[in-house]
């Protein structure tokens, strides 16, 4: 990480601010970067050095439910982190991979008393979206992912229709400058047509099964079914 670039902390929760403008801004050198874990409800971080360096690259969002944090990546680089409020108990935000289906700078909920949803980015057609809203410091929404208003506005400006959004029920330990990598590919095999003498060798730990080893696959990916070349018996 190079010294000299700035990290910007924007505080948008009115309860955290003295009388004055609706948002306050402070900065620090990279040797004094605030800890992501120290962010209070309504706070967020942008990393301008990495944001500028990755302009034009695809944006991906990852929301950690246990941390109540949203991580913003562009071109694989972490460029921003924000506090969020996800679905309350019984109205849990679903986990999984989503795409941005719709964007509206101002939207009202069709399900919950016409509630305002500024900078709405829809993830599902049954009501789950990213939008600006109140952040009490714990999961409190009807299932949506609430964002600080100023962060929601800035995020809205860099995302695109079809953009990737992942919601995970796990902790994320990441720092600016560390490139996001996709998980290792998963090997999925269709064994429905692998029966018979041509497929009767199994490479695995321990002795092979007594019969029809090619008719089943179980356990980790190190168990492989391979054909025996003709004439090698």
Q: What share of the chain is helix, strand, coil (3-state, %, to 5)?
A: 15, 30, 55
Clarify whether residues 162 and 103 are in a common domain.
Answer: yes
> Which pTM value belongs to this model?
0.64
Whole-number pLDDT of residue 111? 59
Query: Could you tell me the sign of the dihedral formed by the alpha carbons of 7, 12, 14, 16, in that order?
Result: negative
Quick one: 42 and 87 in the same domain?
yes
Helix and strand numbers (H, E) in the chain are: 2, 14
Region 118-145: mean pLDDT is 93
Whether 90 and 114 map to the same domain: the answer is: yes
The verdict on 164 and 188 lying in the same domain is no
Question: Region 123-140: what's the mean pLDDT?
Answer: 93
Our count of domains for the chain comes to 2
Give the residue numbers spanning the domain of 221: 184-233
Question: Does the residue 49 lie in any domain?
Answer: yes
- Residue bearing the bigger pLDDT, 4 or 125: 125
Task: Note whether residue 178 is domain-resident.
Answer: no
Q: Note whether 47 and 125 are same-domain residues.
A: yes
pLDDT score of 112: 58
Together in a domain, 82 and 128: yes
Is residue 143 located within the same domain as residue 213?
A: no
Q: Domain with 22 in it: what CATH number?
A: 2.40.440.10
pLDDT at 193: 52
The set of residues, in sequence order, having a beta carbon less than 8 Å from that of 192 and lying 6+ positions away, is none
Q: Based on the fold, state whether residues 129 and 189 are members of the same structural domain.
A: no
pLDDT in tens, 60-93: 999 999 999 999 999 999 999 999 999 999 999 9
């Amino acid at each position: 990480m190079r010294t000299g670039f700035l990290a910007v902390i924007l505080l948008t929760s009115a309860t955290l601010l003295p009388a004055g403008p609706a948002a306050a801004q402070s900065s620090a050198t990279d040797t004094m970067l605030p800890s992501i874990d120290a962010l209070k409800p309504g706070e967020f971080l942008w990393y301008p050095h990495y944001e500028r360096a990755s302009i034009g690259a695809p944006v991906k969002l990852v929301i950690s439910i246990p941390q109540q944090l949203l991580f913003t990546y562009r071109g694989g680089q972490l460029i921003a982190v924000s506090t969020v409020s996800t679905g309350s108990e019984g109205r849990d935000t679903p986990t999984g991979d989503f795409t941005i289906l719709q964007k509206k700078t101002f939207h009202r909920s069709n399900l919950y008393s016409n509630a305002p949803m500024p900078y709405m980015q829809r993830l599902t057609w049954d009501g789950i979206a990213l939008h600006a809203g109140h952040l009490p410091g714990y999961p409190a929404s009807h299932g949506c992912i609430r964002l600080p208003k100023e962060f929601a506005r800035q995020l809205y400006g860099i995302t695109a229709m079809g953009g990737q959004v992942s919601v995970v029920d796990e902790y994320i330990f990441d720092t600016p400058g560390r490139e996001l990598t996709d998980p290792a590919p998963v090997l999925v095999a269709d064994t429905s047509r692998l029966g018979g003498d041509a497929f009767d060798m199994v490479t695995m730990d321990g002795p092979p099964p007594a019969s029809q080893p090619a008719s089943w696959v179980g356990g980790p990916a190190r168990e492989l079914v391979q054909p025996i070349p003709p004439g090698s018996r």
